[in-house]
Structures are given as structure tokens and as C-alpha cells.
Structure 1
Amino acid sequence: MRELVYYVATSLDGFIADASGDFSTFPQDPETLAALFDRYPETCPAHLREALGVTGPARRFDTVVMGRRTHAPALDAGLVGGAYPHLRQVVVTHRDLPAPSGVEVVAGDVLARVAELKAEPGKDVWLCGGADLAGQLLDLVDEIQVKVNPVLLGDGIPLFRGLGRPREVRAVAVEPLPGGVTLATYRTGRRG
């Protein structure tokens, strides 16, 4: 069974974006991006791959799951096939959303659909955002990888919303990256 990995950037104070959904204040150090995309080249959006010299094949993920607001910048930029056409893209929404070619839209039982994805053969599934979806799917998440950026937002969209109760996770690695970013990895206790 493949794993569901919440791999996301955050501010030091735990926000994945400001209150409007903007994450442009996160530092974009070229050395940091190179280190992250060397680790997981498949997480580089298609429209940036050439400019950043990202050519590697998928190392860990072959599927990406995201909420509507995480998918919105791709639509706003006119990316008909979404930001990650090199991956299987699943967008979760309870609103009408045109399903561009190569994007599966899920509006029903999200937990059941993601459990089905995990049961399929293949590489792991990347949960790339957002907070509401991460809160809904936490019971299916196997690993959380947080790219902690050296910036304080003070307010914004938290890592998780709607947890309902405290959850324990186990820290398994903390790795400094170029540009002052720290990659922290946690296991949820589901496996490993």
C-alpha cells in the first residue's frame, strides 16, 4: 500500500500562506529550490521545470491530491492541464469546478476516494494542500514533511484546520536546507 504524505511549506509560526492564500513571502532561494527539487523533482510545477532546470523523473510521488484553493493558481495562470500534468492530479472540492484534461475532480466521499488511491499500486500520494483538506485526511496521512521557512506571518492559513482533537506524531528527521529552510519529517503512527 502506498503512503499519503503531506509535503508542504510553512512559516516558522505554522502558516502555509497568509490569510488571502498568498505564500509569496516565503523565501525562494535558488539553492533551497534546487535541494528540494533534487529530492522530489515531481513536486516542481510543470511551468517552472524548464526555467529551474528540473528534469529528473518522479522519485517518490506519482499522484498529487489538493484542494480547490491550492489548484486555483494553476487555473488563474491558464494551465489547462493543471500545475502537475506529469502526475495524476486529484482536486477535492464541494463546488463546481471545470475538470481540465488530466485532472480528476472529487466532490463526494473524499476519505473513501483517497483510501482507494492509497490501495492502488504505484508510488506514494502527495497531499500538497490545503489546510481544510489536510484536516479532513489526517487519519489517512502516513507522513508529514514540513518545509519550515525562516519567516513569521503572524496570521494566515494554518497547516491543518478542523482536527477536532489533539493528535500525536513522531519526529523522525530534521534537516537544514540552504537558505535557512528546515525540512522536518514526522510519522503519524499509521505505519513505520
Structure 2
Amino acid sequence: MRTLVYYVAATIDGFVAGPKAELDFFSADGDHMRAITEQYPETVPAHFRTMLGIDPPNRTIDTVLEGRGSYRTGLDEGVTNAFPHLRHLVFSRTLPDSPDPGVELVATDPVARVRELKQEPGERIWLCGGGEIAGVLRDEIDELAIKIYPVAIGSGRPLFGAAGFSPSHYTVTSSRTFDDGVVFVHYARAT
């Protein structure tokens, strides 16, 4: 069975974006980027691959999931499919049509759809964001891969949206602290 990994950047106070979807406090500079990109090359958006002159092969992920808010961030920049090298699904009940033939809009129950995806053959499924869809899918998330940036923002969009109180236990499977202060922690759901 395939697994769902929530790979995301977060602040030390647990936010994945600012109150108005700000992301500019997450730095792409520093020694963490190269190491993490080597581990998760499939998470490098196509426009950055082109700009950097790289085309790393997918290693362990073949499908990416996004909520409408995260997807809208790319659309606002004119990017209709940041991950054409992956099967790309966007959960939205408000987008009428997909602006890109490589992006599948899902207006049905996200939990049911993820359970279907997990039963299909293939590699891991990456939940790219955001916090709202992560809150909905929280019980389906098998792994967390969190880049914790050394910044606190006080308020914003939480790691798991408005999921409500329901403790889930995870085990740290690896962690690494980079010179630029980013801590990359990988967790697996405790059994």
C-alpha cells in the first residue's frame, strides 16, 4: 500500500504560511536546500528546475496533492502546473475547471480519494499543502517531513488547519540540523 507523506516548510511556532498566505519568511538560500532537494528531487517545481538547469529524476514520490489555497499561490504567479513530472491532484469545490490538462481537480471527499490513491500501485504520495487540506487528511498521513525554519511569526495558517483536538503520535525516524538554522525532521506515524 502506498503512503501519504506531508512534506512541508513550517515555522518554529507551527505555521505553514502567514495570515494572508505570506511565504517570504521561508528562505530558499542556505545549505539545507541542496541536501533536501537531493533527498526529495520530485518536490522541485518545474519552473525552478528550468531556471537551475537541472532535471533530477523522481526518487520515491509519483503523485502530489494540493489544496486550493496552495494551488492558488502558483496560479497567481502564472504557474498552472508546478509539478508536471508528477501526477497532480488539487482538492477544490470552488475551482470550476482545471487550468491545466495535467492537473486533476477533485471536488469529492478528500479522505475517500486519498484512500483510493493509496490502494493503487505506485510510489509515495506527497501532500504539498496546505494546512487546511492537511487538517482534513490528518488521519491518512503516514509520514511527516517538516523543514522547520528558525522563525516565529505569531499567527498564520497552522500546520494542520482547524483539525481540532485529537492527539496523533509519531516517531522521529531522522533529523538533521543545517548551518543555516533549518531543522529537517522526518516522522512516521506510531503504530
Matched, 1:117 2:117: yes
Match of 2:71 in 1: 71
- The equivalent residue for 1:189 is 190
Give 1:86's aligned residue.
85
Instruction: Give the conservation status (yes or no) of the 8 Å contact 1:149–1:180.
Output: yes
Within 1, Cα distance between the matches of 2:27 and 2:162?
28
2:6·2:144 contact (CA, 8 Å) conserved in 1? Answer: yes
- Considering only aligned residues, what root-mean-square deviation do their CA atoms show, in Å? 1.4
- Runs of 4+ aligned structure 1 residues displaced above 3 Å come to none
Distance between the aligned counterparts of 2:28 and 2:96, measured in 1?
Answer: 30
Provide closer, same or farther for how the CA distance between residues 178 and 35 of structure 1 changes in structure 2, counting only shifts above 3 A: farther
Q: CA deviation at 1:50?
A: 2.6
Aligned length: 189
Is the 8 Å Cα contact of residues 171 and 190 (structure 2) preserved in structure 1?
no
The percent of aligned pairs where both chains have the same amino acid is 42
- Write out aligned runs for 1:20-169 (5 A): 20-80=20-80, 82-99=81-98, 100-169=100-169
In the other structure, the counterpart of 1:174 is 175
Residues 51 and 8 of structure 1: CA distance in aligned 2, closer, same or farther (over 3 Å): same
Take 2:52 and 2:14, find their aligned partners in 1: how far apart are those partners?
27
8 A Cα contact 2:135 2:161, kept in partner: yes
> In 2, distance between residues paired with 1:138 and 1:111?
9
Report if aligned partners of 2:64, 2:87 keep a CA contact under 8 Å in 1: yes
Question: Unpaired segments of 5 or more residues in structure 1?
Answer: none
In the alignment, structure 2 segments of 5+ residues that lack a partner are: none
For residues 62-87 of structure 1, the C-alpha deviation after alignment (integer angstroms, 9 at most, x for no partner) is 0000101101122122223x111111
In 2, the alpha carbon distance for the partners of 1:136 and 1:10 equals 18
CA distance in 2 between counterparts of 1:184 and 1:178 reads 15
Classify 1:55/1:177 alpha carbon distance in 2 versus 1 (closer, same or farther; 3 Å): farther
Give the secondary-structure state (helix, strand or coil) at the position aligned to 1:6: strand
